[in-house]
């Protein structure tokens, strides 16, 4: 065989190899699991995962000082920097998926390859005071894109759906009905509706559906302000525990019904918050419950300004050592600490 022929055969072989690896998807080792190149992340829910869907004219998220830590200006995230979605995407070795707000038919195909985020700040499984789409409506928007072949069934079966919801349902309940005795039955209906939404996602083809456990609402600055940010409100946290137990029961039942224990999983945000808040110094968090950014009077929020553009809020010196950013949301450092805790106890069992 002359060297030209050898070279030709070698080239053909490598071409075949390239074609084969393209066909079956390059596999990349990550943690304990193999990720397919085609894996995408689709995100549904509220401000804990919104990376810029909320209307720019709304207060917060698109206003200074949101985003001051990273990237240095507001991006529509309800934090000083990265939020849960960014950490989940990083774990999956994906870029943060594009927000639905940025999508139209002119968006280049490669911008869609990490998935899409449908989450809106302020939304719940039921309608809230937010004008954003509720969970059902967000899933319908996604389904519409599937009908239009923006995403295919094989995109979906290889992907992860992440659902962050219910905190706003309870805030809205408190703001409207407010009755503590009525709370347990309202929790049951929130979990019921969440379950209906999870089943809907599965019926659209998702084989990995991850729902976040509800964060300890009683530890959020809006609840701890009445104790000058000294202690969590255990009444609220007990209600959250009820929510999370019902969710666990419901998800366990769903998996049993379809005889696959891996389809629906719960990311235990509650435990992540609890562990970090019980031992903040191990994560270099010095300010535990007091938020970094807050209104100078109780009627103002982080990001609000008066008619002369004078700030009506104060920002702390060190967001990187403060757990909470505003009255509801962690800082980037807070999310990072929660993420590290969750990773320690085995994210590979939940997100894959």
Ligand X SMILES: *[C@@H]1O[C@H](CO)[C@@H](O)[C@H](O)[C@H]1NC(C)=O
Which sequence positions are flagged as catalytic?
A: 47, 326, 329
Q: Quick one: 60 or 319, whose CB is closer to ligand X?
A: 60
User: What's the rounded Cα separation, in Å, for the pair 135 and 57?
Assistant: 22
Looking at the DSSP assignment, which residues form a beta bridge with residue 163?
Answer: 44, 211
Residues 6+ apart with CB under 8 A from 250: 191, 192, 194, 195
Q: Quick one: 203 or 235, whose CB is closer to ligand X?
A: 235
Question: In a 3-state reduction of DSSP, which class is residue 8?
Answer: helix
> What secondary structure, in 3-state letters, does 309-321 show?
CCECEEECCCHHH
Q: What minimum distance in Å lies between the beta carbon of 173 and ligand X?
A: 6
Tokens of 16: 């075949």
Q: Quick one: 136 or 321, whose CB is closer to ligand X?
A: 136
Residue with tokens 């939020």, as numbered in its chain: 83
Closest CA to 42 of 123, 135, 108, 179: 135
Q: Taking a C-beta distance cutoff of 8 angstroms, is the pair 188, 236 a contact?
A: no
Closest CA to 79 of 111, 101, 46: 46
Does the footprint of ligand X cover residue 51 (CB under 6 A)? no
Q: Quick one: 142 or 319, whose CB is closer to ligand X?
A: 142
Determine the interface stretch with ligand X among 76-84, 183-191, 299-307, 321-329 (rule: CB under 6 A).
183-191
Q: What minimum distance in Å lies between the beta carbon of 156 and ligand X?
A: 21
Determine the interface stretch with ligand X among 27-35, 38-46, 246-254, 328-336 (rule: CB under 6 A).
246-254
* H/E run at residue 220: none
Q: Quick one: 72 or 182, whose CB is closer to ligand X?
A: 182
Question: What is the pattern of x (binds ligand X, CB under 6 A) and - over residues 184-203?
Answer: -xx-xx--xx----------
With CB under 6 A as the contact rule, the residue among 6, 38, 152, 234 that binds ligand X is 234
Query: What does the angle CA 81 – CA 131 – CA 54 come to, to the nearest 5 degrees?
Result: 20
Query: What does the angle CA 166 – CA 142 – CA 169 come to, to the nearest 5 degrees?
Result: 15
Question: What is the pattern of x (binds ligand X, CB under 6 A) and - over residues 317-336?
Answer: --------------------
Instruction: Report H helices in 110-233.
Output: 135-147, 153-157, 167-176, 183-203, 221-224
By CB under 6 A, the residues from 123 to 162 that bind ligand X are 126-127, 134, 136-137
By CB under 6 A, the residues from 259 to 298 that bind ligand X are 265-266
Size of the site for ligand X (CB under 6 A): 26
Q: Quick one: 155 or 169, whose CB is closer to ligand X?
A: 169
Q: What minimum distance in Å lies between the beta carbon of 227 and ligand X?
A: 6
- Judged by the rule CB under 6 A, the positions of this chain that interact with ligand X are 55, 57, 126-127, 134, 136-137, 173, 177, 182, 185-186, 188-189, 192-193, 227, 233-236, 248, 251-252, 265-266
């Amino acid at each position: 065989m002359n060297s030209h022929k050898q070279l030709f055969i070698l080239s053909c072989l490598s071409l075949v190899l390239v074609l084969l690896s393209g066909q079956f998807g390059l596999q990349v080792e990550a943690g304990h699991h193999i990720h397919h190149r085609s894996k995408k992340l689709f995100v549904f829910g509220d401000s804990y995962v919104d990376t810029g869907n909320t209307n720019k004219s709304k207060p917060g998220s698109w206003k200074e000082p949101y985003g001051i830590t990273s990237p240095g200006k507001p991006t529509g995230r309800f934090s000083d920097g990265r939020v849960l979605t960014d950490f989940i995407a990083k774990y999956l070795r994906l870029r943060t998926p594009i927000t639905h707000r940025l999508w139209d038919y002119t968006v280049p195909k490669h911008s869609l390859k990490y998935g899409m985020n449908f989450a809106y700040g302020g939304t719940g499984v039921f309608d809230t005071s937010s004008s954003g789409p509720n969970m059902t409506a967000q899933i319908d928007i996604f389904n519409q894109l599937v009908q239009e072949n923006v995403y295919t069934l094989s995109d979906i079966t290889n992907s992860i759906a992440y659902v962050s919801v219910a905190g706003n349902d309870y805030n809205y309940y408190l703001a409207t009905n407010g009755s503590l005795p009525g709370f347990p039955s309202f929790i049951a209906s929130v979990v019921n509706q969440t379950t209906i939404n999870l089943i809907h996602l599965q019926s659209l083809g998702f084989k990995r559906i991850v729902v976040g456990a509800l964060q300890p609402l009683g530890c959020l600055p809006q609840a701890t302000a009445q104790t000058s940010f000294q202690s969590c409100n255990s009444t609220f946290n007990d209600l959250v525990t009820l929510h999370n137990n019902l969710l666990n029961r419901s998800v366990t039942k769903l998996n049993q019904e379809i005889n696959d224990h891996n389809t629906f999983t719960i990311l235990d945000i509650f435990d992540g918050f609890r562990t970090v808040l019980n031992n903040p110094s191990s994560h270099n968090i010095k300010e535990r419950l007091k938020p970094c950014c807050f209104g100078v009077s109780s009627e103002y929020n982080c990001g609000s300004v008066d008619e002369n553009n004078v700030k009506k809020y104060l920002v702390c010196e060190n967001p990187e050592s403060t757990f909470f950013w505003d009255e509801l949301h962690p800082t980037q450092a807070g999310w990072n600490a929660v993420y590290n805790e969750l990773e320690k106890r085995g994210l590979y069992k939940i997100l894959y």
